[in-house]
Amino acid sequence: MKSKRALLITLLILVAMVLPSAAVFSQDETVELRMAWWGSQTRHDKTIAVIELYETLNPNVDIVYEPSGWDDHWTKLATQAAGGDLPDIIQHDYQRIREWVANDLLLPLDEFIESGVIDTTNIADASLAGGIVDGKLYGFNLGNNSETFVIDVDALEAAGVELPPVDWTWADFEEMALKLAASGVYAAGGNLHFSEHWKGLYISCCDSYAYNAEGNGLGYTEEEDQYFVDYLNMLLRLQDAGAIPTLEETTANANTSVEDSYIVTGQAAIEYGWSNMIVAIWTAAGEDRNFIEWTVPRVVDGLPRNYIKPSMFFAISKDSDKAEEAAKFIDFFTNSIEANEILFAERGVPVSSAVREALSSQLGPAQQEMFDFLGVVEGYNSPIRPPDPAAHADINSNVYLPQVVEPILYGMMSPEEGVKILRDEAELLLSQ
Amino acid sequence: MGDAIIKFPTRQPKKSRFGRNNIVGYLFISPWLIAFILFGLIPMVVSFGLAFTNYHILRGWDFIGLDNFHRMFYEDRRYWNSVRATVKYVIIAVPLRLVFALAVAMLLNTKRRGVAFYRAAFYAPSVVGGSIAVAVMWREIFAREGLVNYLIGQFGQESIWWLGHPDYAIWTLILLAAWQFGSPMLIFLAGLKQIPGQLYESASIDGANGIQKFFRITFPLLTPVVFFNLVMQLIAGFMTFTQAFIITNGSGRPLDTTLFYALYLYKRGFETYEMGYASAMAWVMLVVVALLTAIVFATSARWVYYESQEGK
């Protein structure tokens, strides 16, 4: 008897534990959307504010959000993808979207544009092109961006250096960097060895890219290896001259936030990054500073290195059973002026011309500079390259940095040798 | 006689193991049991299976036999970098931590006033040791304007980029490990308390000095505890993850000198999504650690002294 009762009680407790979660499913009418993005605290705050605004306007929609940093975002998404439990709306990236589409994880958005759920009347086709994979639109552009050198105008003046021409070259940069070093500031914050420079170099020198269009091999010939060798030699010269931080210094500083970055602290006069970054830099540095966004140098006699890129996308997961509701939110996020007054171009220059116009009168100096710079780039740009192949993440973190660029900049390997290793190992990974 | 004590068999002779009484028992331990099966047993079995596949979180999987192991041993240079970093760390950090632990335990094994406070104070770093906060603090200590550079600056030395220098970066992690000697220290302390005081007294009467007492009495009688600590720390050393993950930002930099095995495994599994390969790495690690532990056990007969064996 006794044991029977114990059994009964245990079962009752178990049922009681399961019940509350079951009750949630029985409620209807409310649509629950899940949404995930990466970003800084500023982006989290702004995005959450827009979500709350949307929920007030659409009381039947409840948006559950999962903000994180870049690394965690992708780790979490991968596990969710494996478990078939992806959020409805996913903030996505140009470098990764190709792989996600290839693995059939995302939903094409074309039908929502045809049916008018997402209104694109104020959006130029060029702004949407970046999100097209295999002829279908998978990623909806949240803002336009371009690579940039953020320049501290006052530091240049103090060093007696003039602003370079818009079509400046790496040779111009080297000359300027040595002058800046003489006045006691670095000419870069410490990320000139990133793989973006390897990839961009081949736009500029050879009208190509690090990877070929099919994504199954490198996009440059063995003779053209020399361009990257030259670039690495330049970095070595600048490192020796004290014009850019050594890799030792950069590695030790790997954790620094925007507030401690060299351009903000005044230790460097130039910082490489994406154009929306200026908002964070200027906010951290204070209003009394003066920054300007400039094109990234090109190879001598080369083509423009800059191109206009979607800063990030919204995508809808393939498994979402509320895709239309998700699309409605994307429309709101893109076209609502009220929402964009909150977001305030933090994800890059808004793609909707109506939104840009509405914001133009309220822009602060940082946003104004970003808007202006994108205008400049339109006159000096190269076409956007296809998204990176799926193997890029692997090549970058397991080959490019640890086996090539780092040994070279630590002086343990010659650029010639490193560039050859890069070719062999990258080709191997790309062919798989 | 047995019948008088054990009454159950008379009522339930040889009933199935899952008899009524036992069901209640299993229900009571079910929270643990379910958690163990779900989060322990099943993942282990699955990861063993995955070790023979090329499972990639986004792309799915194919059975590839022993290819993962071939790749690990013959093709993946970073794998060997990570093995080198881990072995170097274990060989230096584990003995260092044990020596520290023993030294401090002996200092605290006195009858001075306030010794209880010191015991707690010395144990504290280990309580918070695995935590993110300590790793972050450590990173700051070795930063450009951190404590260490300040101290060597007082002696006129140039600042060093500790975390960026290929020769020095791993030493920051080794020092952190040595500093977190608390848990072996506590076990040593318990061991020291077991050593009978009269042994020291009679040694003193015979004119033995401190060093002789340590090597003739303390250490031999402490060997079972040393053995236990060695095995535990060896295993923990090979699995070190958090410290490297935080201090070097999970990069293994500079030049893979801090790319610990567990960190590299994590990067393969969660950064490039190669779960099959990561599982294979995990099982190799398990086998290696098991073998090392077995070797330590095998040698223990030569140097570990158990009092109960005295008459043997």
CATH of domain B67-309: 1.10.3720.10
CB contact under 8 A, A254 and B267: no
DSSP conformation letters of A1-29: -HHHHHHHHHHHHHHHHHHHHHHHHH--S
B253–A251 C-beta distance less than 8 A: yes
Q: Which residues of A touch B59 (CB under 8 A)?
A: 103
Which residue does chain A place closest to B31, by CA atoms? Answer: A14
Average pLDDT of span B12-31? 73
* Single-letter amino acid code for the residue at A416: E
| Domain extents in chain B | 67-309
Q: Which helix (H) or strand (E) holds A316?
A: strand A313-316
List, for residues A318-372, the tens digit of each pLDDT value: 989 999 999 999 999 999 999 999 988 889 899 998 999 898 888 888 889 999 9
Look at residue B14 in the predicted model and tell me its pLDDT: 53
Q: A18-32, A370-384, B277-291: lowest mean pLDDT where?
A: A18-32
Site of tokens 């022993």: B66
Q: From CA B142, how far away is CA B174, in angstroms rounded?
A: 13
Structure tokens at A19: 């019940």
Structure-derived torsion over alpha carbons of residues B263, B266, B272, B273, reported in degrees to the nearest 10:
170
A145: phi then psi, degrees, rounded to nearest 5:
-140, 160
Q: B161 vs A248: CB contact, 8 Å cut-off?
A: yes
For chain A, the C-alpha Rg in angstroms (whole number) is: 24
> What is the spatial distance between Cα A402 and Cα B254, in angstroms, rounded to a whole number?
8
- Contact between A412 and B255 using a beta-carbon 8 Å cutoff: yes
- Tell whether B272 lies on the interface with A, counting CB pairs under 8 A: yes
Contact A10 B24 (CB under 8 A): yes
Q: How far is B140 from chain A (nearest CA, A)?
A: 10
Report the C-alpha gap between A339 and A335 in whole angstroms: 8
User: Under an 8 A CB cutoff, do A410 and B255 touch?
Assistant: yes
A65 vs A62: CA distance, rounded Å: 10
pLDDT for the residue B17: 58
Question: For chain B, how big is the Rg over CA atoms in Å?
Answer: 25
Q: What is the ipTM of this complex?
A: 0.80
Residues in chain A whose beta carbon is closer than 8 A to a beta carbon of chain B?
3, 6-7, 10, 71, 74-75, 78-79, 81-82, 99-100, 103, 105, 246-255, 393-394, 397-398, 402-403, 406-407, 410, 412
Nearest-Cα distance to chain B for A194, in Å, is 14
Contact B139/A at CB under 8 A: yes
pLDDT tens track for A239-283? 999 999 999 988 888 767 788 889 999 999 999 999 988 888 888
Q: Which range among A25-34, A176-185, A398-407 shows the weakest confidence by mean pLDDT?
A: A25-34
> Residue B165 and residue B28: Cα distance in Å, rounded?
54
The pair of three-digit structure tokens given for residue B308, joined into one six-digit string: 């109960």
Chain A residues in contact with B250 by the CB 8 A cut-off are 71
Interface test with B, best of A2, A77, A250, A398 (most B CBs within 10 A): A398
Chain A contact for B11 (CB, 8 A cutoff): no
What is the rounded CA–CA span in Å between residue B135 and residue B240?
A: 12
Q: How sure is the predictor about A26, in pLDDT bands with cuts at 50, 70 and 90? A: very low
- Which chain B positions have a beta carbon within 8 Å of A79's beta carbon? 57
| Closest chain A CA to residue B136 | A255
For residue B250, the one-letter residue type is: G
Lowest average pLDDT, out of A117-126, A172-181, A393-402, B15-24, goes to B15-24
Q: What are the structural domains of chain A?
A: 29-142+310-372 (3.40.190.10), 147-308+383-431 (3.40.190.10)
Contacts of A204-207 with C-beta under 8 Å, sequence gap 24+, read: A204/A298, A204/A299, A204/A302, A204/A303, A204/A304, A204/A305, A204/A382, A205/A299, A205/A302, A205/A303, A207/A303, A207/A382
Position with higher pLDDT, B95 vs B197: B95
Compare CB distances from B161 to A99, A100, A249 and report the shortest one's residue.
A249
B35 SS3 class: helix
Question: Hey, is A89 helix, strand or coil?
Answer: strand
Q: Does B267 touch chain A (CB under 8 A)?
A: yes
